[in-house]
Structure 1
């Protein structure tokens, strides 16, 4: 199964999710949805605090915003690109901005696949 997200160059980037029986255990996930769950879920849960959204909503919002309009994009080597954007999170009940964070997203440019996404404090660097 594949979930589609708008791509870096106007196409669609794919967040790959295979059938459960074909997946390695979460601790061995190297890219895509399983990697984000295993390695960055807690980061997105912290971002979601106070917004009345779950971590998947916040991660999806971030990847969608980055795909549509990155603040910064740099090559990451090996046919990959690192994109970043400041994400403003609002409390859905009060409509007040509760936080802003920079989120990075690494993708395979030639395949339009999202490898990973994670919140960070700094901007995109040349090293990932």
Structure 2
């Protein structure tokens, strides 16, 4: 799962055993994620190594948790014309982003285009 800021810069999404969600320049066992449809147009994302669901609060803060909560852990999947995917939290409508909550770039919504890798 690769998060792209632009065509030259991107990060691999990692879900750690302690629930942290980070971005890394290199693939690792923590960057292997599964995407599963929960209803038409909506998916759940789960870390294969961490066995945690990717979840988001109403402020856009990401975390991994072991128990699935539909409000925080399901995402609307938007397929973009350039082949990337954008995910919006199904309940809150907030875009999935690896940008820090306190980052000044948060308002320009960086790292919100994702490229699922096989």
**Fold shared by both chains (TM-score > 0.5):** no
With normalisation by structure 1, the TM-score equals 0.30
Which one has a bigger Cα radius of gyration? 1
With normalisation by structure 2, the TM-score equals 0.31
